[in-house]
Each structure stands twice: as C-alpha cells, then as structure tokens.
Structure 1
Amino acid sequence: MADGGSRAKKYHQIADAIRAQIRAGDLPVGSRLPAETAIAVDHNTSVPTVRQAMGVLRAEGLIESRHGVGTFVRETQRFERRSRHRYGAARARTGLMNNTFRHDIVGAGPEPAPERIASAMGIPAGTEVIVRRRDLYDDKSELQEIGASYLPADFAAGTYLAEPKVVPKALFRCVEEITGRRYAYALDHWIARPAAVEEAEAFGLPLGAYVVHIVHTATDENGDVLEVSESIWPADRLAFIDEYEIPAEADPDALKSDI
C-alpha cells in the first residue's frame, strides 16, 4: 500500500515539474519532450511511473503523442463561449449560430426523448421528438463539438428540420419562422464529467479525460419549450465567459448558489 502511495506521489511530482516547464516557456508549444527513459533517469524513477505522469498531462491537454515520432507540447488555445451574447450576435448576421466551425449533420428525424431531455422539456421520457445530431469541426478537420438539438414534434415533424441537412440560418431563427413564436428565455446547465469511451475515441482523448456537457433549454415568452440542445466539448478546449451586473441591493428572491 505504501509503495502505491509513493508511486502516485512521484508521478504527480513529475507531471508538476513538466507542467511548470511548459508554463515558464522552457518547453514552448511544439517542442518535443525528452524520451520517457531520459525523464525516468532525471527523476530517479521507472518508465511506467513516467507514463502515468504523461497520462496526466495528456488529460489536461498540455501534451500530445504522435505515433512513431514522440511527445510534444500542445497548443492550448481555448474556444470562448459567451452564452448571454450568442443569440444577439446571431440575430445580427446571416448563417448559423456557431459560424466558426464546419457543421456535419450526422442524423435528423424522430426519436424517443431520453430522460435528461424529457425532464428539461417537461414531457414523459420516451415521447417522440425531432432530433438533429451534429458534429462540429475546426479548419484542421479536428472534431471540436458533438451536439444535438431536440425539438417538439408538434411543430418540427414533417418540416425541413427533420431532414439531415444543414439549415439555411441559425436553428432558432428557423424555429421562430416555422412557429411564429420567439425565443425569449434560455437556461444552460453545465456538467463536467469523464468522457464516455465513444466520446474519447471521437475526440482523440485518453480514457479518463474530462468533457464539458452543456444542456441548453430555450423557451418562448409563455415558458413553452422551443428547443433543448446539448453540446459536448473536451474540457481543455473550452472557456466559459459570463458578464453580468452585480445588484446593489439585497435580492431575497435570487436563486441559491451552492458555491
């Protein structure tokens, strides 16, 4: 038991040391890390312990391994999501809500609503809804987001929204056009969790890496759900930016925050 604790402490020490070198610029983006055997000698430890340290740094998105070439410091640019401004920005231009990426519609049509989506929509689990599934790729054809939109079948069934094609403008504007109702309120629920096996494979992540899973619920002025969407991102590639006014007076009706 003591050996296991000592080994765990050692690989964290190695990860801390390499992380510090990266942040200090001693190992710049694109630079190749020394061989695992060399790192093991420098830290007076074994190669398996070094590999554990490398796994930690890969999960954090700081390094990447290239088969047959070596391990390199990875560029750690994060995409910024400014949730409060997204709709206003999209109303001011043509095209899709997220026009940074290439949209691949991987499926569209009727499906039973899973429990988490049914709960957000206020309907029984298994109720038929129209689902639009999409993958978003950057300009290097690297998968950045796995997403889906769930629409009530009473207005989306039988329309172009049920077809596996990219829509001509932001999805919410299509829904408004079809229904004559306006998106008025949105709620985002963010969850950080370990990637499922298929998600890790799709994103090229090591097992144990985390993703951010966003469930977004949009309603009209009457509180009726127009869309529930979910987006899954590798946690190391995304930053949430939120700007808001701070109340000057006490607000007893404000929702309680745990943290």
Structure 2
Amino acid sequence: MPEIQRVVPKYLQIANYVRDQILRGDLQPGDEVPSERQIASDWTVARPTATRALEALRQQGFVESRQGSGTYVRDRMRPNRLARERYIRARETGKIYPANERAVILAAGRDIAPAHVADALGLATDAGVVRRQRVIYADDTPVEVSTAWYASSIGDLAPDLLVRERIRQGTLAYVEQCTGRHAQHARDEMSARLATSEERGQLQLDDPSAILVVRHVVYDSEDRPLEFTEAVHLPHRWAFESTYALS
C-alpha cells in the first residue's frame, strides 16, 4: 500500500502561496515580494521559516535578492498562464487577467465539432457546438491563442457565448451561472507541434516555429464535460511549474 503523504512543510506552503501570486500575475516581474519580517508577521512563523521560504523561491528561479533593497520577482519571469491560474484569480479577485493582459475575441458562433472536440465533450461525431476563439496579449504582445468549445445546448442557455465580445466575469463563470452546472475538476494535456500559418500570423512567429499546445477539459460535479479548450502558447514562455516531495 502507498504511504500517506506528510503535510507540506510550512516554509514550502508560504513559498507556494507567493509562487501562485506570481503565476496568476498578481505579482509582476520587478515587483517586490513580502520581506522576511512581513512573512513572519503575516503567517505567524519564526524568521528562519520566512528566510527558508524566500530561499526556496530563489532556488526555483521565481525571485532574486537585491543587496540593501529587498526581494523581487525576476524580470525574466514571464510564464504562460494556464486556465487554473485564471480560474483561481477570477474567483479570488473577480478579474481574470492582471493589469498587463487583455483578450480580443476573434470568433464566436455555432460550428460543427471536429472529431477530437466531439470526443472530449462526449458528443456525437459532427455534432453542433458553440465555438469561441480569442487572442491573449501580455504587454501588448500576443502570447496565446485559444479556442473554447461548448455543447450546442449550452449555447441555448448562455447566449452571450455567441456574441463576439468579452464576457467580463469569464466564460466559465458565465456558463455556470446560466446552466446551474458547476465546474468540479479539470484535466490538461500538453504536447508540442509546429505552428500553422494562421497561428504564426496570430502570434507573430517566424516560419517554422514550434508551439506548446494545451488541451483543457472542465467537468461538472457529475463528471460531465462542460467546456473544452485548446490553447497554443509561445515557445519561449514556459507554461507550468510543479514542486513536489521525493521522500
């Protein structure tokens, strides 16, 4: 039988919390992170625990110390944001994007589901679906193109999905509100391939260029697919990070 996992050390909980703020965009490159003194006060921990938390972030490459000044998010820390970071940020702040990011909706309407989309949503081959495509910009540079797909019946209940305008609370929150179905868990699959000519134009890439592809499925509380999204990301921005114990 596998062993029960031990509780994550407190210093690592603190480091993970700050890391998540960086990944969500709440802390931007160049922003100062809490000092040892502030961490010790906010978390009610000893200074050595706060010191170790900041050291963990430095070792992981998220922050850097500046002599006589403090600890700052590294200037090169510009990750692609996965859906989970956007969901958490939206639920905690009411906003999907940080101040330096924005989205432009390229398309919204009804379509016929490609085979892999129908399979992900549990639909019949060539079933009707709702399709929304957007480009996400960070500091006015295109960094992601994503296409979200929903069963046609969801479009009947959530008509704003068919309008080529941003849904301010986020499409998933809007779908939850309109359908009464609530997102319970999600699955991400990642792969890489060469960008198509359309994707190169949207992301301002050279020919040829590799891209990271993330296929994201959201399930409701009854394990029914609610949303399927396929996103393509720039090759020079990493897309995920995980820290875990080996013993």
Q: TM-score range by the shorter chain?
A: 0.5 to 0.7
Query: 1:27-51 CA distances to partner (integer Å, 9 max, x unpaired)?
Result: xxxxxxxxxxxxxxxxxxxxxxxxx
Cα offset, 1:243, TM superposition: 4.4
In the alignment, the residues of structure 2 paired with residue 130 and residue 96 of structure 1 have an alpha-carbon distance, to the nearest angstrom, of 21
User: Which amino acid in 1 is paired with 2:130?
Assistant: I
In structure 2, the partner of 1:237 is 237
Offset at 1:145? 0.9
Q: Is the contact made by 1:120 and 1:228 (CA closer than 8 Å) also made in structure 2? A: yes
Deviation per CA, 1:150-200: give whole Å up to 9, x if none. Answer: 111112236111111100212111111001111001000111111112222
CA drift of 1:202 comes to 2.6
Q: What pairs with 1:38-187 in structure 2 (closer than 5 Å)? A: 78-81=78-81, 84-96=84-96, 100-139=100-139, 141-157=140-156, 159-187=159-187
Moved over 3 A (4+): 75-78, 80-86, 97-100, 243-246
CA distance in 1, matches of 2:241, 2:159: 35
Provide the alpha-carbon RMSD of the alignment.
Answer: 2.4
Normalized against structure 1, the TM-score is what? 0.60
SS in 1 for 2:183: coil
Distance of aligned partners of 1:142 and 1:80 in 2 relative to their CA distance in 1, 3 Å threshold: closer
Shift of the 166–235 alpha-carbon distance from structure 1 to 2, 3 Å rule, reads: same
2:150 maps to amino acid: L
Do the aligned partners of 1:149 and 1:229 also contact (CA within 8 Å) in 2?
Answer: yes
How far apart, in 2, do the equivalents of 1:82 and 1:135 lie? Answer: 14
Q: Which amino acid aligns with 1:175?
A: V
Deviation at 1:147, TM superposition (A): 0.9
Q: Per the alignment, do residues 96 and 87 of structure 1 end up closer, same or farther by CA in structure 2, a change over 3 Å counting? A: closer
How many pairs does the alignment contain? 172
Conserved? CA contact 1:156–1:162, under 8 Å: yes
The answer for unaligned runs of 5 or more in structure 1 is 1-74, 249-259
- By how many angstroms is 1:212 displaced? 0.6
Residue 130 of structure 1, CA deviation: 0.7
The one-character-per-residue Cα deviations of 1:209-250 (angstroms, maximum 9, x if unpaired) are: 21011110001011111100111111212331134577x8xx
Q: Is the 2:135–2:202 contact (alpha carbons within 8 Å) kept by the matching residues of 1? A: no
Of 117-126 and 172-181, the range deviating more from structure 2 = 117-126
With structure 2 as the length reference, what TM-score do the two structures score?
A: 0.63
Local SS of the residue matching 2:169: coil
The one-letter code sitting in structure 2 at the alignment partner of 1:240 is F
* Equivalent pair of 2:96/2:170 in contact (CA under 8 Å): yes
Q: Is the Cα contact below 8 Å between 2:89 and 2:95 reproduced in 1?
A: no
Alignment partner, residue 203 of structure 2: 203
CA distance in 2, matches of 1:245, 1:87: 25
Seen in structure 2, the aligned counterparts of structure 1 residues 244 and 228 have a Cα distance that, compared at 3 Å, is farther
Distance apart, 1:85 and its partner CA? 4.7
Distance apart, 1:121 and its partner CA = 0.9
Q: AA paired with 1:172? A: L
Question: Does structure 2 conserve the Cα–Cα contact (< 8 Å) formed by 1:192 and 1:235?
Answer: no
Please, which runs of 5 or more residues in structure 2 have no aligned partner? 1-74
Aligned-residue offset at 1:78 = 3.4
Following superposition, the deviation at residue 99 of structure 1 comes to: 6.4
Work out the CA distance in 2 between the residues paired with 1:101 and 1:161.
21
